[in-house]
Every structure is written in C-alpha cells, then in structure tokens.
Structure 1
Amino acid sequence: MRSPLIRSFSQLDSLDPDRPVVTLFSGGLDSSYLLLRLRRMGIREVHAVSVDIGEDESSTYKRQVAEALGATIHILDRRAEFADRYVAPAIAAQAVYLGIHPVSSTLSRPLIAHSAVELARVLGAQAVLHTANRSQNTLRRLNGALALLGYEGRFGSPYDLDPVTRDDKLVELRAAGIDLLAGRIVSGDSNLWCREFESGILDDPELHEVPEEMYTWSRPIALPGDTDTLTVTFEHGLPVALDGDPLPLTGLIDRLNRRVGAYGLGRYSGLEHLDHGEKVLEIREMPAAWLLLSSYRHIESACLDAELIREKRHLEQVWTREALEGRWFGELRLATQVFVDACAARTTGSVTWRLRTGGADTRSITAGSPLYLRDREAWEERAISTESAPFARAAEAVLATV
C-alpha cells in the first residue's frame, strides 16, 4: 500500500489534477511558493486554508496572494475556539516546555490540522498539504495531528525531503508576478497567545539579538516609577474576569498582553529540540501567558493539597510532551487532561498583581475554598486546644475516680 505521507515535490506528480487539493496557507514565502508549484502542475482546484487564531498577517493580504496564484482562499475564524479549547487547557496544565517557555505552536497546530481535515472532507480533497520543513517542529505536530485525525487522503509537506532555497522561491514568485517578503530577516509565527521568532538572524544561539521594533506587546512603554495594579479571576480553572470585568478568554488575553507587556514582561528565549535531538533557538513574547500561568499556580496552591500538586507537576510534563510531539489527539494526552480537569474543577479564586518595570508582585491571593491560614496565632491556639482536649478529658476522668 502506498504511504499517505507526502515528503517531496516529486511526490506531488502523483496527484490527480482533476481532484481538489487543500493547502495550509499562512501568506508566507513557503506557502505561497507551494501554491505556485501546484498551479504549474495543472491542479485545477486548489483550496488555501488560513485559520485565523489572531496572527499578524492580515486577511486582505492573504486573500490577494492566494487569488493571484489561482487558489480559492478559505479564511476560518477560530480565535474563540483556539482560546477556549486549546489555550485554556494549557493554562490548567501549566504547559511550559522544560521550564523554559510556555508552549504556543504546540497548541495551534492541532486546531489548524482539524480545520483543514474538516474542509478536505467536505470538498472530497485528495490531499492536505502544509509547508513545514525538517528544522521546524511544526512538521511532526501537523503530521501527527493529521494521522491521529484519521484523514483518508494523502498529507504532508513537500519541503520535508525537498527543500528549496529562499532565493529560488523569491525569484520564481517574482517571475509569476508575486513580490513579497524579500526584507524579512527572521521566520515568525504568531497567534493571540504568542509571537515567536526563529531562523534568519536568530539561527546562532551563541550570537543573537532581536531588534526591539520586532516586539509588539512587550515593548516597554511604562515610565520609570509607573505601576499598574490588576486582578485576574479564575472559576474552575478558567480565567473569567479582569479587574472584576467579565471577559471571554480572547478579550482577557488581548488586554493582558498589552497591560503586562507595557512593563517589558513576558519575553522568553530558549532552545527547543527537533525530531532527532538537535536544538534550535526560539524567541517569544507572551505577556498574558506569563501572568496567567503564574496566577493559576498561586490559586491552585491555595486550593489543592500539596501532594496532589506534586503529582500534577509530573503529569503536566507528560501532557506537555504529548502535545509537543504531535499527539494532541492521542490517548495519553487525553487521559492526562482528565486529571488536569479534575484539579481545575477545584481551582477558583483571584490574584491581584502590582506591575512595575521589569517585574511584578502579588498583593492578594484569594481562593473560594482556601487551604491557607489568615491568622497563624489563632490557628495555633485552636490546634493546640483541639490536640490537648483528649488529654484534658482523660486527666479529669482520672481525678474523678480518686
């Protein structure tokens, strides 16, 4: 039986030109070049899918490029679904890669794959193509999701075994009347949860610097000495309000990215492993994630027994590993989610923060059913009294018999 996995451009020759093909489309160089190649092959019906989860690239720009390359564009608004069904579970699972940075594309890839498969099945498409290459973790995450979703057609990235140089892609696109991205100095990935940069000027971990103008949320604009006090409220593990104002998670994240980022908070840098163990540098800005993950842990610590939290910390890394390796729809990730959800059901409360340039401090941690003490001396007196009571009663009984 022929493998369903597509790994090179030469394998595209086996596609039927009269049957639809679905491609994931970001509007970037790789996905635009793939559309060009499919057009040259004579594929009559190419559907470019752009899943809107709050990325930087505008829908208008994507539409112009896709249509210029003869593809039908599908822009699917999945921002609310991304926040509620992917980011929210990651907050409860404290999904941080080896203690270095919160995960991001790990959360978006399964949603993108699921959206593409839904459309492909409606269209009766013969293939779902994407453009991840071997130095991108997106390759195993998309392929893993597409496989676990049981997509019936062929799928994969022709760049896996058949890379094309950046210059060659630019030259061929220009010749086709598409002139784009020539000045981009890094590869970027963005959504409402994270803005991430890699490659280009960031290739070398031993010598790298991100130009300040590339940051959007975490560029400090607060003046020296400025502070900001805010309160985040969680109900059953879900962030639901900011300063007492109920908000959908999309709106809450958007506000926090800007308020927390104004103090230069929420930047991450770190190495992440590829399929065979090699590691690449990635830079992120995630101000809302920085504060929400910290807030969750504070409330969780106020509500849950210490031994339960210790066990959860282990399972958090199992959850993160399974999602990271492209097994979001796999049994083990789903099983650990049940444990995480059980803990989240008891995690209700709020945290008040005082933001300052370069840092933040808690001012209040309040839980619905707290385990914390508010008056240690009174507790000690009660505890001693309770512990001493049986001995006092025993002594009274002995004296009564004398």
Structure 2
Amino acid sequence: MTTTEAAKTAPSPLVRSFAQLANLDPDRPVVTLFSGGLDSSYLLLRLRRMGLREVHAVSVDIGEDESGPYKRQVAEALGARIHLLDRREEFADRFVAPAIAAQAEYLGIHPVSSTLSRPLIAESAVRLARSLGAQAVLHTANRSQNTLRRLNGALALLDYEGAYGSPYDLDPVTRDDKLAALRAAGVDLLAGRIVSGDSNLWCREFESGILDDPERHEVPEEMYSWSRPTAAPGAEDLLTVTVENGRPVALDGTRMPLTELIDRLNRRVGAYGLGRYSGLEHLDHGEKVLEIREMPAAWLLLRTYRHIESACLDAELVREKRHLEQIWVREALEGRWFGELRLAVQSFVDNCAARTSGTVAWRLRTGGADTRAITAVRPLYLRDREDWEERAIAAESAPFTPSTVPALLPAAA
C-alpha cells in the first residue's frame, strides 16, 4: 500500500459516529467527558459493551449541580474509572475573570457561560489523556448543541494527538432507547428530567425538552435555584463591589476569592429575582435555539465593571473596546478560545483592565438595583461641575503656559 493509499484509508481523528468507535484498540485507555447525565452514561455503556478494558470518565467540577458521589456511583456501575477534578478556582481565575473584563455577552442578550467552561473541560481532559497515554478523548455533544463545536474546536487547538469528538454527531440515539439500555444494564437514572441542563458557578442554564419551542415555553419556578425571589416585600439590600486592575476582589469591603464572591452574589442578588435571561443562540449553520439562564452574580458584576471602566477610561477607548468585546465573544463562542485572534483581543482587554479600579455601591430592591456611589481610583469624572467650569474658564482666559493643562483635569478622589 502506498503512502497516499494509507492516508485515504486511515481513520479520521475526528469521531462523529458510534461506528467509528470500532477503530479503538480495546487494550489502550480511552478518556470520556462525564457529566453523570443520560448521554454520557449511555456512552460508557456502549464502550463497556465493546470490550474496552480501560475507560476513564473525567468530570470537571466547576460548580455544577450534580454531586460527585452520584457521578462516581453511575460511572463505577458502568465499569469506568472516575476522575473528579476540582477546577472551580481555575475556572473563575482563567475564564470568568477575563469574561467580566471583556463584558462577554452574546449579542447583548445574555452573558456567555458554557462558552467559558468548555475550553477548561477540554484542556483538563487532554491533560489526563496525555498522562495516561490515551488513544481518544470522547464527549457526547450532538449537532443541536453549541458544545459540539466548542469542545471539538478546543481539542483541535490544543493539538491533542489522538482521536476526539462525539459519536452522537452523526449517530443520534433516542432518549427512550438510551434509558431502556441503561435500565437493562441495571442503571436507572434521570427518567423524570424535562429539560437539558448545564450548570457551573457562573450560570445555571436550561434548554431542550419543554423549552424546544421559542414560541411557547415556560420554565417551572422550582427549576430556578439562585434567582427565586425570597426577599420580603419592600426589603432592600445595600452592598458594594470592589474591582482592582479589572478583577472583582471584595464584597462590602471584605476581600475574598472570586469563587466565593460569585457564590455570595448569586444568592444576595438572586433573592430579589434578578439575573434571569432568555434568548436565542445560533447553531453551527445559523439555526437558532432557545436557552434560559439564571446568572444573578453576572448580572451585577458586569454592570459594576462597566460603571468603573467608564469612570477610568477615555470614552473613545471604551467605544473601541465595545467593538472588540464582540470579537472576543465570537471567537470564544465558536470554539476558538485558544485561537490567536481571541488571545490578541485579550491583550487589549487586559491593557484596559490594568487601569480599571474602583468600587460601586448598590441598593438592591425587588425587580431592580440602583447605584448609590461610583468611586474610581483614578477617575475621569467631575465631582463639582460648577467648580470645574470656573477653573476651565479661568484657564482659557489666562495666558497659556504648560501648567494650565493639568489644572483642567479632575482631581483624584
């Protein structure tokens, strides 16, 4: 066989169907992404039936709803070795913090979420796969999920050496068939789930099932966790958020890790029914699907950041940044988090963030929030307009000297 003929018959590194799994060597390790849900559990069952001797199910903890013990129970029942990886701090520091500075909202409709988690999940799986010498990294996204191109894009940009992809891409299996197969194998799970969910410390998201039709949808109130209103009628909550060099660092003057700050804000802001989003997001070929989110901390932190940023940066700089923010979002959204363009825009965002420091005081109330103070470390705002006007007029009337120019700038707070 010639080299050209061998290349034509060699299996593709991109896995798109269950039939391609027949190319796997039963004696070499395989890594699968494992959420504990129906799709990932069914994949473990199929791999076990194929006789693979070493299947590693990796679950990356970024603050999701499903518990570790539950995942361990399901994975072990299906013959897989479970790896529970705590990546909450890394998720907040490397992915959420840059998204806050980039004001990462999809077309201004909702803050991005799984866009941020998929690169870290893919990176964690590749680290494990390389340490094990695994022949493949598999996931379970299907073609009606944006996760498909985000995970595949991240795995490609990470230069993973083995096969990767989702067998559900070209080979979907009905929900009833998956449930029946798992029950027959002694694993009965998730029979009552009415939507597809995705969660992390930054967002709880719902789609599919009863939410398939954008023209007629309703989320049962009990599905919301953070944003279910619990504040008494007429109640208020006063809080302050501090940002240093583009990063939220303190709540009410108390410094804390970003993970803790987000957790506290999800509950305090959500108690007033704030932070719910609904909107359409496009698939790979332009079709739109409905997604519902609750993100109370994101709701407040993104607004806090923009207030401080506008107090610290020149207006023209902010205008240009708003344009680049959507490039940042597009590149991350399309699975190019590790791509050159997203990284180049991140350098611009980081440069702006280095000058973004201050505090915003908020008054939370049912249905909304109002600012009570916006304080910047190096402000461009005026605190006394009349005094500024008098100084500006006096400076224009006086003979020009180099010392008159700084006199027109507002004094530091």
The interval holding the TM-score normalised by the smaller chain is over 0.9
Q: In the alignment, is residue 15 of structure 1 matched against residue 15 of structure 2?
A: no
The answer for the alignment partner of 2:35 in structure 1 is 26
Q: 1:1-400 to 2 correspondence within 5 Å?
A: 1=7, 2=10, 3-390=12-399
The answer for the alignment partner of 1:400 in structure 2 is none
% of aligned pairs identical?
86
What CA distance in whole angstroms lies between the structure 2 residues aligned with 1:362 and 1:387?
A: 35
What CA distance in whole angstroms lies between the structure 2 residues aligned with 1:194 and 1:33?
A: 26
What CA distance in whole angstroms lies between the structure 1 residues aligned with 2:254 and 2:266?
A: 16
CA distances 1:7-32 after superposition (whole Å, capped 9, x unpaired): 00000001000000000000000000
- Matched to 2:79, the amino acid is G
User: SS of the counterpart of 2:369?
Assistant: strand
What CA distance in whole angstroms lies between the structure 2 residues aligned with 1:304 and 1:277?
A: 36
Unaligned runs of 5+ in 2: 1-6, 401-413
User: SS of the counterpart of 1:390?
Assistant: coil
What CA distance in whole angstroms lies between the structure 1 residues aligned with 2:396 and 2:159?
A: 60
What CA distance in whole angstroms lies between the structure 2 residues aligned with 1:284 and 1:223?
A: 24
CA distances 1:221-264 after superposition (whole Å, capped 9, x unpaired): 01110000000000000000000010100000000000000000
User: SS of the counterpart of 2:359?
Assistant: strand
* Aligned-pair CA distance for 1:130: 0.0
* Aligned-pair CA distance for 1:329: 0.2
What CA distance in whole angstroms lies between the structure 1 residues aligned with 2:397 and 2:272?
A: 52
Show structure 1 runs of 4+ deviating over 4 A: none
User: SS of the counterpart of 1:42?
Assistant: coil
User: SS of the counterpart of 1:315?
Assistant: helix
TM-score, normalisation: structure 1? 0.97
- Matched to 1:145, the amino acid is A
CA distances 1:101-133 after superposition (whole Å, capped 9, x unpaired): 000000000000000000000000000000000
CA distances 1:159-185 after superposition (whole Å, capped 9, x unpaired): 000000000000000000000000000
- Matched to 2:300, the amino acid is L
What CA distance in whole angstroms lies between the structure 2 residues aligned with 1:283 and 1:336?
A: 28
User: SS of the counterpart of 1:208?
Assistant: coil
- Matched to 1:330, the amino acid is G
- Matched to 2:52, the amino acid is I
The answer for the alignment partner of 1:398 in structure 2 is none
What CA distance in whole angstroms lies between the structure 1 residues aligned with 2:212 and 2:31?
A: 31
- Matched to 2:45, the amino acid is L
**Number of matched pairs:** 392
- Matched to 2:174, the amino acid is T
User: SS of the counterpart of 2:304?
Assistant: helix
The answer for the alignment partner of 2:410 in structure 1 is none
Please provide the CA RMSD for this pair: 0.8
What CA distance in whole angstroms lies between the structure 1 residues aligned with 2:78 and 2:397?
A: 83
What CA distance in whole angstroms lies between the structure 2 residues aligned with 1:242 and 1:209?
A: 34
The answer for the alignment partner of 2:409 in structure 1 is none
* Aligned-pair CA distance for 1:390: 2.1
What CA distance in whole angstroms lies between the structure 2 residues aligned with 1:200 and 1:6?
A: 26
What CA distance in whole angstroms lies between the structure 2 residues aligned with 1:345 and 1:74?
A: 37
TM-score, normalisation: structure 2? 0.94
- Matched to 1:255, the amino acid is R
CA distances 1:278-300 after superposition (whole Å, capped 9, x unpaired): 00000000000000000000000
What CA distance in whole angstroms lies between the structure 1 residues aligned with 2:284 and 2:330?
A: 13
